[in-house]
Structure 1
Amino acid sequence: MENKSNAFLAGVFTIGLAMLVLFALFWFSSDHAVRVPYDLITRSTVTGLGPQADVKYRGLDVGKVVSIKFDPQVPGQIIVRVSVNKDTPITRTTYATLGFQGVTGIAYVQLDDTAREEGNGQRSPPLTTSEREPARIAMRPGFFEELEKRGDSLLTQTETLMTSLNEMFQTTNRDALMSAIGAVHKTAGDYSRLSASLQPAATKLPQAVDNLNATLGSTRRLTDELASPNGTVMRTVNRVGGNLQGASDSVQAAAGILSEETLPQLNGLARDARQTARTIDRAAGQFTERPNSVLFGGPAPAPGPGEAGFSAP
């Protein structure tokens, strides 16, 4: 009897332990977060998105996709019901996009806010939702959908680019391009030869620079010598100026002597010479009129008034 009771207790303990383990597994595996529903509205494709897909807000997991169905009131419109954590800052400017995880193609819902993109610092009011009337959030086209929409334009532009490249590399343009490349190569060769011819001049350039520096040094010293009042040049100029001043004084003294002594004597000599010339002139006149006056002398002068023999004219 005792063995049966022990077996019964062991069985009850085992069943209770198994139930406790199952309850713990269920408790830890279930999500106990408080979530609220939102409806994402879109007319785009939702390829790769399914129930239980992740819902992220700026990269953080905030919920799951509950269901995906067509809108019975608007043809072609899709309603994606999501369940999001209650503390997620969903506002009136929040929008949704479709993202893809890596290269697996598994899609998820990415939530973001227009106010953060604009950076105006203004906070939009929260978006109110409930189980009876879930709030609706607009779902914008994702990156791949935009790429798909613009695929035709990109293909057209690519085709135009390839056509332009084909026209660029036609025979005529190719020959012109090769000629340009040849001209560039020739220019590079000419530049190399020019560099080689300039090498000797470049070798002598340091010596020329040294000579120029020496010349500039000599010019600077000469300038300093000219600017210095006690320099050799200025002393020589002063000495020459003194000599010129002495010569000028001598010339002025000689001019004074010439003016005071020599010129009066020359004037007296000139007067004597004029008198002698007049005397000679008179003698010559008398000789011309009376040549015999040389032998017999000149005639007696006519008597003047009051003298004997004077007769009035």
Structure 2
Amino acid sequence: METRAHHVLIGAFTIGVFLLALGFVLWMSKSSVDQRFNDYEIVFTEAVTGLSVGGLVQYNGIKVGEVSALKLAPDDPRKVIARVRLDAAAPVRQDTRAKLGLQGVTGLAFIQLSGGAPESPPLLPTPEHPVPLIPSDESALSKLLASGTDVVTSINDVLLRVNQVLSDENIRRVGATLQHVDELSGALAGQRQDVATTLNQLAAATGELKHTLNTLGSIANSADTLLREDARTMLQTMQKTLASVDKLAASTGALVDSNRGAINQFASQDLRQVGPAIIELRETLRSLRQVSDKFGASDSLLLGRDQPKEFQPK
């Protein structure tokens, strides 16, 4: 009986030591795990469709942790709080931002961290936030889901328009158009020689027109050159004439200025005698004209022209 009691005590003692050792090992392992990771919280103001516990957390495309918990914000159910456990070596800083992303075509969501300038200080716990809070940005996934209704509506409108375009009447019209095109192609194929002749004539006419245009261009250039030269010569002549007139006007002005006294005396005294002199000159000219007329009438007698013929009896 006593022997059996000793065996029970020994077995209980052994089991207790084993449990203590196991607990110590688990505690040490947990401490080492906690020292290698840091917890952060991310508040999303959008639906986190496709994100679940254990989801991937990346920093600029590199895995740095996973999602450890998801819950709604107690003060605002429109917000979602995601607790993430990140590698202690991850460079999480105060300007680090988080947003949702999609993993390929699987539809699973993950958290993408970005930012973290070298000069920005590390993100550490504070009395207000014992678990550091990483700000979030609206993701392209959220924008896509928010505009999903508009996209579906637009697709429906496009399908309706496609159905209208592909109606039976339009299909018949397209078939008739294709038939007309086929008939036209056949007619052109039958008149291939005439078409070739017409094209050759058109090419020849085009060449002649080009030659004519070149000739007209040469004529225009020659006329332009001639007009420019004649105009230049005319302008030079006009300039010389104007210069001569200018000199003559200047000389006349100087002459008038130098003889102004004599001109004034002539205008005041001698011009009064010009009138009677002109009247006498007119009378003299009239007398000379009468004498000339008489002299012309007797010119034939003096010169022996138109003398009367003597009568000679037969």
Q: Which category describes the TM-score, using the shorter chain as reference length?
A: 0.3 to 0.5
Q: Which has the higher helix share?
A: 2
TM-score when scaled to structure 2?
0.45
TM-score by length of 1: 0.46
